[in-house]
Amino acid sequence: MSNTRLDQILKMLETHPSDPFLHYATALEYEKLEQYERAIEILEKLLLTQSEYLPTYYKTGQLHELVGNSERAIELYLEGKKLARIQKDFKTEGELSEALMLLDVFDE
């Protein structure tokens, strides 16, 4: 096995399979490799299993935009914005609002 960052993260996942950050980091590495569908698959699964992990919404939305699925991106940005309010994470709420504005979606 080579000693790439992805390999290291995958090895850590074997020990800590429920760590949301490790799944998120894995998806980021696949994004760097331009394996966007694989990155989306990992993040969508993370949304199902650990929906409270807020960073997932923005990144998954970005990737959906990248592959031409703006409708799903909008859904994710809206869901993430609601969660950000609940978690009182105003910085992330603002980032998600900006992403929506760039897609000409104005809520509230």
Tell me the pLDDT tens digit for each residue of 29-55: 999 999 999 999 999 999 999 999 999
**Tokens 């490790």 belong to residue:** 22
Say what the pLDDT of residue 1 is.
40
Low-confidence ranges of the chain (pLDDT < 70): 1-3, 108
Say what the pLDDT of residue 3 is.
60
Q: Which domains does the chain have, with CATH numbers?
A: 5-102 (1.25.40.10)
